[in-house]
Structures are given as C-alpha cells and as structure tokens.
Amino acid sequence: MTIQIAILAKQVLDTEIPSDQFKINENGNNLETKGNNSPIINGFDLNATEAALKLRDDGHDVNITVIMAGDGFFLDIIKKPLSMGADNLVLLQDESLVGCGSTFTVKALSSVIDKIGPFDIILAGRHASDFDNGHVPIGIAETINLPIITYASEIKIKNNHLMIKRITLNGYQIIETSFPCIITVSNEIGEPRYPNLRGIMTATKKNPKIFSFRDLGLDEQKEDLIQLERIFIPENNLNTEFITGEDESEIGRNLAIRLKEEGLI
C-alpha cells in the first residue's frame, strides 16, 4: 500500500539576506528586500520534504504531494521539492492568502487537504520564517482532528507505526503514533538534499495543479478578526565600545581589563 504524504510549504523572502537589506513594502503589511532577491521555499518546509524523501530511501512506497497556499508564486522556485523528488505540487492561489492571519490560512489549507486527501502523514516545517508563527500545522491538526507531533528530527515507519524522534529544549523524546497524523519537522532532520539533474528534468516537465477558492467552495476571505495595523523596523541606538590594541593579544588583554573594570567578570 502506498503511503500518501502531504507536505505543507510556503514561499517566503530569503532569510539569509542581512537584516539591513529588508524594508517595509508599499502597503505597509509585509517586508520586502531592497535588492532584487528571489524568494525561497521556507527552510523548514524543505526539511519536511527531506524527511519524506528519507522515508522513500528507507524503502517505503510513498507518494509525496506538496501543498502551497499563497500568490505570486515563482514557478522555478516552488518546484524545488519536485526536483528533490516529491511527486506532485498543488497550489491554492489567491491574493488574499498573502499576509492574511493564520486563522484563515488554517481554514484554507484544511480545505485543500479535505479536497485532495486523505493523507497518511502530513508534514510541515516547524514554522515559517516570515511571520514566525509556527501554529498553522497545529491549527490544521485541531481543525481536521488529527494528532500533532512537533519538532521531529527523525521519522521511521515500522509495522504501520511511526517512531518519531522529537527535539526538546534539553534533548529529545521518542514518540510512537499511528497513521494518520501531522508532524512538524525541525532542521535537525538534516540538510535538504540537492536536486540532481534527473530530478530537475522531471520537475520541469511537471505542472502544478492549481485550485482557486471557488474550486474548494471557500468563501472570499472576510477581514481578519485580529488585524495587522502596522509594521515597523525598530531603531537601534546602542553605542558599541570597540576595544583596540596593537595586536590581537593586546586587544584580548584590554577586553579582560574593561570587563573587570565594569564588574562583569
């Protein structure tokens, strides 16, 4: 029996860009980059893709469907999971999905899952690096009534059971569960693999299946109950005292003396 896996993924701004390269967009409801940087797929979502592909490496028969909700997709970028080895790409496309509150995102993604599911395992990144919420997968789990396991760093399937290594602040836990369930994946699962040439070729030939709100019987989004009012970049007016000296050895010594003077060591 093929194990159906869904991966929830989001297109975000590249977070590896230095923070002073971000500015507030025209509408004042999100950031954009000062340069012409292309977006990326949220890093943790690629970790989730890697987790699914590792299950295939383990010899399991898996079918991997990547689901993305948003608008203004960069096709070559969002095809990355396909070139890594995922099988299908499904988009829910609507302008109102950009920068909407998570309540609506949860509702929208839940209806996509409802439409194209059922899935045995739903994977998602532990959070998206734009609004840093991390509660969309949890919200979906509560909405469609599935167990949720967070921060996975390893997933194994044994006799139709899932064994999940779950990262905690001070170590880890081993959690056992059965299908179906939702798992959020953390970077400790390992670097997402580089697409190989064959993967890239296959991905170019595949086209995403695109859904609109109408297709899912979703109402146009009403206003969020909790509304984003403004975004601002906090001022930083700390005066750094640079420790100097003839050479690094003297700089180190001067640092020790300054810290001692200040009673910090």
Partner 1 sequence: MIKTLLLSEITDEKISQNTYELINIANEISDEVSLVILNFSDCKTLSKDFDKLYVDFIYVLTVPPLNTDKGIYNIDTFVISKFIESKNYDLILLSKTEYGSIVGPRVAFGNKKEYLSDCVAINLRENGFSITRPIYGGVANADYKIPPGISPIISFRPGLSLSSSDIKHPIIEEITFEYSCQQHVKMINEFNSMDENKIKLEDAKIIVSGGRGIGGELEFKELNKLVNLLGGALGASRAACDAGWVDHSYQIGLTGKTVSPDLYISVGISGASQHLAGCSMSRNIVAINNDKNANIFNVARFGVVGDWKSIVKSLISTIEDLNIR
Ligand X SMILES: Cc1cc2nc3c(=O)[nH]c(=O)nc-3n(C[C@H](O)[C@H](O)[C@H](O)COP(=O)(O)OP(=O)(O)OC[C@H]3O[C@@H](n4cnc5c(N)ncnc54)[C@H](O)[C@@H]3O)c2cc1C
- Contact residues toward ligand X (CB under 6 A) are 15, 43, 129
Judged by CB under 8 A, the chain residues 110 through 129 that form the site for partner 1 are 126-127, 129
Nearest to 9 by CA among 34, 35, 38, 40: 40
How far does Cα 264 stand from its chain's mean position? 39
Binding characters for partner 1, 204-243, by CB under 8 A (x = yes): ---------------------xxxxxxxxxx-x-x-xxxx
Q: Which does 68 bind (CB under 5 to 8 A by kind): ligand X, partner 1, none?
A: none
Q: Which stretch binds partner 1 (CB under 8 A): 65-73, 196-204, 209-217, 251-259?
A: 251-259
Nearer Cβ to ligand X (198/253): 253
43 binds, among ligand X, partner 1, none (CB under 5 to 8 A by kind): ligand X
- Per the CB < 8 A criterion, the answer to whether 180 and 114 are in contact is no
Cβ contacts of 27-30, under 8 Å, gap ≥ 24: 28/230, 28/231, 29/99, 29/228, 29/231, 30/98, 30/99, 30/130, 30/231
Q: Is 194 in the site for partner 1 (CB under 8 A)?
A: no
Contact 120, 157 (CB under 8 A): no
String marking each residue 73-102 x if it binds partner 1 according to CB under 8 A: ----------------------------xx
Gap between the Cα atoms of 33 and 27, Å rounded: 14
Footprint on residues 4-33 left by partner 1 (CB under 8 A)? 13, 15, 18-20, 22, 24, 31
User: In 3-state terms, what secondary structure has residue 191?
Assistant: coil
Closer to partner 1 by Cβ: residue 186 or 199: 186
Residue 61 engages partner 1 in binding (rule: CB under 8 A): no
Give me the phi and psi of 155, to 5 degrees please.
-130, 130
65 binds, among ligand X, partner 1, none (CB under 5 to 8 A by kind): none
Q: Does 35 bind partner 1 (CB under 8 A)?
A: no
37 lies in the binding site for partner 1 (CB under 8 A): no
Q: Which of 188, 193, 206, 213 binds partner 1 (CB under 8 A)?
A: 188
Q: How far is the CB of 204 from partner 1 (least distance, A)?
A: 30
Question: Would you say 4 or 150 has its CB closer to partner 1?
Answer: 150
DSSP code for 60: -
Contact 73, 91 (CB under 8 A): yes
Based on the shown chain and the rule CB under 8 A, indicate whether residue 174 belongs to the binding site for partner 1.
yes
Taking the C-alpha atoms of residue 139 and residue 208, their distance in angstroms, rounded to an integer, is 25
User: ∠ CA 106-8-120 to the nearest 5 degrees?
Assistant: 100
